[in-house]
């Protein structure tokens, strides 16, 4: 009996121990576990805030050769291509033929023929008038010679002699006027004959002097041929763009809200062009903005900004006119500033806050932020160097909850 009692007592003890173990395991699983999080350390170091935007390269001094007259742009030999070297006042970049007269209808043709007949008659009349006045002038000169001889002998009065001289001078002036009228009538006839002329093909080949040669206004390279094919153009139409590819700058149209933070002389990092990052500096920020519609249809106020390369041409010689680049313009910089990752910040009311990892728990801490970029933010108050903050806090993280660093297994 005693052995049986002992056995029952041991079974009871074993049951109690098993129940206690199960209860302990259940409590352990039910107890809240620390949430794994990513942590970052608040530290001091250099910080730079930049304005980032797309830009393009541009030849600083761009010359556009335009059509001087309305006419036809002809093909030249040898033909010009983009990239060709040109010399100031020597290289012919375009040849133009003046506009040929247009065809006229039958009615206009008949009117011009009648006008031509009238002009020919006017020329004949003017020539006849010249002959009449030549005869009158010859007679007046003979009379003047006779009067001068008679005046020497006293046969006529001084008044008669003066009258003979007056008639001679009058006839001479009338003859000069008549000859001028002949020239006027002949020119009028020539004008009508020119209007009667029909368009002639291959004028440039039959009369090379008819064409105008446009020469390069500056030494450099052809950057763009606007009028590539032979054809008619109006006065002032652009034909060729010329510039020096080594006289290159970068132009960017920045948002006006960003442009107000930038001053001439600001450092610029230039990349996104297919080569190594280049250094530049701002040379000009326009005092006036302009409206630009973005690709999404949003109206934006932009400001034209010019940037010079600081690096020597050897580093960017592969860049050309109108190449796309990315610019990072420095608007603020400090070599020793307390920073916190932007990924740790979140809003609590109107303030910024972080979860400070302290003694294994997350503590909500309000911070005051100064300058910031897309990665780091300047801490003005609320944190100290060496503090550890939670990155990308999820909705599971709250004030006072237990946390552990994710990679600290």
Say what the pLDDT of residue 133 is: 86
**Residue 206 banded pLDDT, cuts 50, 70, 90:** very low
Mean pLDDT of 347-375: 92
Q: What is the pLDDT of residues 273-287, one digit of tens each?
A: 999 999 999 999 999
DSSP 7: H
DSSP 394: -
Say what the pLDDT of residue 209 is: 54
Could you give the C-alpha distances from 163 to 141, 148, 318, in angstroms and in order? 12, 11, 91
Q: What is the pLDDT of residues 362-397, one digit of tens each?
A: 999 999 999 998 899 999 999 999 999 999 998 888
Global pTM exceeds 0.75: no
Say what the pLDDT of residue 10 is: 64
How many percent of the chain have pLDDT more than 70?
87
Cβ 271 vs Cβ 329: under 8 Å: no
Q: Which residues of 327-345 are buried (b: 16+ CB within 10 A; e: fewer)?
A: bbbbbbebeebbbbbebbb
Cβ 156 vs Cβ 150: under 8 Å: yes
Tell me: pLDDT of 359 over 70.
yes
Say what the pLDDT of residue 75 is: 81
Please indicate whether residue 310 or residue 202 has the higher confidence score (pLDDT): 310
**CB atoms < 10 A from the CB of 368, how many?**
12
Mean pLDDT of 177-200: 82
Q: What is the pLDDT of residues 227-249, one digit of tens each?
A: 888 888 888 899 999 999 889 99
Mean pLDDT of 392-408: 86
Cβ 284 vs Cβ 305: under 8 Å: yes
**Residue 149 banded pLDDT, cuts 50, 70, 90:** confident
Residue ranges and CATH numbers for the domains of the chain are 35-47+336-405 (2.40.420.20), 51-59+246-333 (2.40.30.170), 63-100+203-243 (2.40.50.100), 106-196 (1.10.287.470)
Say what the pLDDT of residue 136 is: 86
Say what the pLDDT of residue 198 is: 61
Q: What is the pLDDT of residues 46-103, one digit of tens each?
A: 999 999 999 999 999 999 999 988 888 888 777 888 889 999 999 999 888 887 666 7
Say what the pLDDT of residue 104 is: 72
**Residue 205 banded pLDDT, cuts 50, 70, 90:** very low
């Amino acid at each position: 009996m005693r052995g049986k009692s002992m056995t029952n007592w041991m079974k009871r003890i074993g049951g109690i121990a098993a129940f206690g173990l199960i209860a302990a395991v259940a409590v352990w699983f039910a107890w809240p576990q620390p949430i794994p999080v990513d942590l970052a350390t608040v530290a001091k170091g250099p910080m730079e805030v930049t304005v980032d935007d797309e830009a393009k390269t541009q030849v600083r001094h761009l010359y556009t050769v335009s059509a001087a007259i309305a006419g036809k742009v002809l093909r030249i030999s040898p033909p010009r291509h983009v990239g060709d070297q040109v010399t100031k006042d020597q290289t012919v970049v375009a040849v133009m033929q003046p506009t040929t007269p247009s065809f006229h209808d039958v009615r206009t043709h008949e009117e011009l023929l009648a006008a031509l007949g009238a002009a020919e008659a006017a020329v004949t009349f003017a020539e006849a008038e010249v002959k009449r006045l030549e005869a009158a002038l010859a007679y007046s000169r003979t009379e003047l010679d006779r009067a001068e001889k008679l005046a020497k002998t006293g046969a006529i009065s001084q008044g008669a002699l003066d009258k003979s001289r007056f008639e001679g001078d009058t006839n001479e002036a009338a003859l000069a006027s008549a000859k001028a009228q002949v020239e006027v009538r002949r020119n009028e006839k020539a004008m009508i004959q020119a209007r009667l002329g029909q368009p002639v093909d291959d004028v440039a080949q039959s009369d090379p002097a008819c064409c105008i040669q446009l020469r390069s206004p500056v030494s450099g390279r052809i950057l763009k041929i606007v009028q590539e094919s032979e054809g008619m153009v109006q006065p002032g139409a652009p034909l060729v763009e010329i510039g020096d590819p080594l006289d290159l700058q970068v132009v960017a149209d920045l948002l006006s809200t960003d442009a107000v933070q930038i001053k001439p002389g600001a450092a610029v990092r230039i990349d996104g062009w297919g080569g190594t990052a280049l250094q530049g500096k701002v040379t000009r920020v326009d005092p006036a903005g302009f409206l630009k519609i973005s690709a999404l249809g949003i109206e934006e106020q932009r400001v034209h900004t010019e940037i010079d390369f600081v690096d020597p041409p050897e580093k960017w010689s592969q860049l050309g006119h109108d190449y796309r680049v990315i610019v990072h313009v420095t608007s603020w910089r400090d070599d020793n500033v307390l920073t916190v990752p932007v990924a740790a910040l979140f809003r609590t009311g109107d303030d910024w806050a972080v979860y400070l990892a302290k003694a294994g728990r997350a503590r909500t801490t309000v911070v005051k932020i100064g300058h910031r970029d897309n990665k780091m933010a300047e801490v003005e108050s609320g944190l100290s160097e060496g503090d550890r903050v939670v990155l990308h806090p999820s909705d599971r993280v709250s004030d006072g909850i237990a946390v552990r660093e994710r990679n600290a297994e």
